[in-house]
Amino acid sequence: MKQIFLSVVIPCYDEMANLQKGVLDKIDHFLEKKKISYEVIISDDGSTDGSKDFIKHFLREHSYFYLRENQHQGKAGAVTSGMLHASGRYILFTDMDQATPIEEVDKLLPYVQGEYDIAIGSRDSKRKGAPWTRVIMARGNILLRKLLIGMGDISDTQCGFKLFRQDVAKTLFSTLLKMHHGFHTLSGSNVSAGFDIELLYLAEQMGYKIKEVPIEWLHVETRRVSPIHDSITGIMDLLRIKKNALEGRYNKI
């Protein structure tokens, strides 16, 4: 059986608005044109807005798309579930809103096919189209992250567009899952800044080579972002990662 070249993992939580814009069709058209073997794993995070029914209808005519149904555990849990079930030689996770278009994977692939283990998308610091509150949040997060845990060689940890070699993805996400003893059922939306930071921090501790690649990105409005709540959550996540680092948890893997 021929190995799949590229797996695309897309977390989904109440994404009806984006699904109705035809984002899955756009992803399908791009991958079909590339003439590669691929799979798209939509990792649902317990959606209740009809997203799962929409996706199931789409799957009837798109045999390389698959739906994983998870309990609501937040984006971290949905991404981890999808990544651990992906079988491609290279595995990308990307957001359903396609703020970073799927076409940008062409910019990342040469690096993981070469000397790097992970290639991550990096947005312009001006965050084109984003409200000033989001820009301030992003810059504050970067400054605090560098002060607390370092990773000064990476400017944008939060872009939801990251590509991994298969062996690297399996090791990293399996380790994260064990460290957190699985992900727990939640209520309400949960998009934690700490997930991406911890993922990349762990990757650095494990000696993986990471390449940050400038990509196209356009702000897509979402009701799930709360400047005050998300800023507080982000600080708590950074403090948790710092505590884990001081206790040597990342060195015991």
Domain boundaries, the chain: 6-251
Residue 91 main-chain phi, psi, to 5 deg: -125, 120
**Could you give the C-alpha distances from 8 to 24, 41, 105, in angstroms and in order?**
11, 6, 10
Closest CA to 216 of 111, 105, 62, 81: 105
Query: pLDDT tens, 135-146?
Result: 666 666 777 777
Q: Average pLDDT of 158-170? A: 96
**Could you give the C-alpha distances from 156 to 146, 151, 168, 196, 215, in angstroms and in order?**
11, 10, 20, 10, 11
Q: How far apart are CA 162 and CA 107, in angstroms?
A: 11
**Beta strands 6-12; 90-94: pairing state:** parallel
Residue 65 main-chain phi, psi, to 5 deg: -105, 140
pLDDT at 129 over 60: no
Q: Residue 3 is encoded by which pair of tokens?
A: 């190995």
The model carries a pTM of 0.88
**H or E segment to which residue 210 belongs:** strand 210-214
Closest CA to 237 of 148, 171, 120: 148
**Domain 6-251 carries which CATH code?**
3.90.550.10
Query: pLDDT tens, 4-48?
Result: 999 999 999 999 999 999 999 999 999 999 989 999 999 999 999
